Amino acid sequence: MIRPRLTSIVEAVGSTPMVRLRNVAKHCPKVKIYLKLEYMNPGGSVKDRAALQMMNDAIADGRLTKDKILIDSTSGNTGVAYSIFGAALGYRVALVIPENVSQARKNVTRAFGTELIFSDPMEGSDGAIRKVREVVEAHPDKYFYPDQYANPSNPKAHYLGTGREILQQVGHELTHFVTGLGTSGTMMGVTRRLREHTRKITCIAVEPAGALHGLEGMKHMASSLVPPIYDANVPDEIMAVETEDGWDMSERLSLEEGLHVGHSSGANVAAAIRVAERIGEGCVVTIACDRGDRYFTPMRWEKHYEW
């Protein structure tokens, strides 16, 4: 199918393909595992959906105007999405990010004219959240703060988009949906949509096994500021994944499936395979949140320049 001509890059968001994993779960031949390739969005991640919905809803009701600067805390993908749509739609963007975010992330957002404000690397994403609140409180008229952790447009994007698409793509056979918790927007929105299906579809949330982890984009709820959009009653189950298992699975997805995905996608697939092993027969959908190339760390000889 050839996509129609677009009048703006924002129209390229959504309608992502789904691919069956044939090699990494060979030991579960009666379970179909599908990976929905959210990295096919124009900003390269699932965050395009929430960012665009938050911007469109705010433009529609006047919270975001050309006089204001859109500001948010984000360790990467949402920031890339805001930056692209800000440039395409003509809105200024500023981001608060922890200083230890990879150099590649910093470069990609700056390329779209976005201003970067750094927060303490020791305090992670929660430090960035606290910092953005300070900046906005100091100049409330200057900024529009979408607050992806609390904005209902975030799960709404997945209710209207991702969830609907999954039902169109595999609704007739889907038994389980698995995805990681970050802002929890994907889990909340998709699950609410899948609940409307006549058949019971089990929805499983994935979180890092510990407070100190290396699954970028995912939140360990017990030790984090819990996002206001998160409702612990929505998922049927919460599954913990070790960082190493997520990292190893993202490597295997590259080598065995030709899917170069980030660590959170690796964790999602590791969890989906665990579900497949348990059920023995069925159909599991999970999410490829972004590509792996955003996570390459600087080489040894580069590090003195980059860090």
Partner 1 sequence: MPVTVRIPTPLRTLTQGKDEVAVDAGSVRAIIDNLEKNFPGLRDRLCDEKGVRRFVNIYANDEDIRFLQNLDTILKEGESLSIVPAIAGGS
Task: Give whichever of 115 and 126 is closer to partner 1, judged by the CB atom.
Answer: 126
Query: Under a CB-based contact definition with an 8 Å cutoff, are residues 194 and 157 in contact?
Result: no
Query: Under a CB-based contact definition with an 8 Å cutoff, are residues 33 and 25 in contact?
Result: yes
Closest distance between partner 1 and the C-beta of residue 123, in Å? 5
- What does the angle CA 279 – CA 280 – CA 282 come to, to the nearest 5 degrees? 75
Q: Tell me the two tokens of residue 287.
A: 């999410």
State phi, psi for 101 to the nearest 5 degrees: -65, 145
Provide the total of helices (H) and of strands (E) in the chain, helices listed first: 10, 10
Q: What is the secondary structure of 227-265 as a DSSP string?
A: PTT--TTSSSEEEEE-HHHHHHHHHHIIIIIS--B-HHH
Instruction: Cite the DSSP H helix spans in the chain.
Output: 47-60, 77-89, 103-110, 124-138, 153-157, 163-170, 185-194, 243-252, 263-279, 300-306
Task: Give whichever of 32 and 36 is closer to partner 1, judged by the CB atom.
Answer: 36
Closest distance between partner 1 and the C-beta of residue 62, in Å? 27
Task: Give whichever of 92 and 130 is closer to partner 1, judged by the CB atom.
Answer: 130
Burial class for 92, CB neighbours closer than 10 Å (0-12, 13-18, 19+): middle
Task: Give whichever of 25 and 178 is closer to partner 1, judged by the CB atom.
Answer: 178
Closest distance between partner 1 and the C-beta of residue 229, in Å? 12
State phi, psi for 86 to the nearest 5 degrees: -60, -45
| Residues in a beta bridge with 116 | 95
Task: Give whichever of 45 and 202 is closer to partner 1, judged by the CB atom.
Answer: 45
Task: Give whichever of 143 and 149 is closer to partner 1, judged by the CB atom.
Answer: 149
Q: Which residues bind partner 1 (CB under 8 A)?
A: 47, 73-78, 97-98, 100-101, 121-129, 148, 182-183, 210-220, 223-224, 243-244, 247, 263, 297, 300, 303
Closest distance between partner 1 and the C-beta of residue 98, in Å? 4
User: Which residue is it, tokens 């995805």?
Assistant: 179
Task: Give whichever of 120 and 277 is closer to partner 1, judged by the CB atom.
Answer: 120
- Do strands 18-20 and 31-37 pair parallel, antiparallel, or not at all (unpaired)? antiparallel
Query: Under a CB-based contact definition with an 8 Å cutoff, are residues 267 and 246 in contact?
Result: yes
Task: Give whichever of 133 and 220 is closer to partner 1, judged by the CB atom.
Answer: 220
Closest distance between partner 1 and the C-beta of residue 247, in Å? 7
Closest distance between partner 1 and the C-beta of residue 297, in Å? 8
Rounded CA separation 206/180 (Å): 4
Closest distance between partner 1 and the C-beta of residue 17, in Å? 22
Closest distance between partner 1 and the C-beta of residue 156, in Å? 17
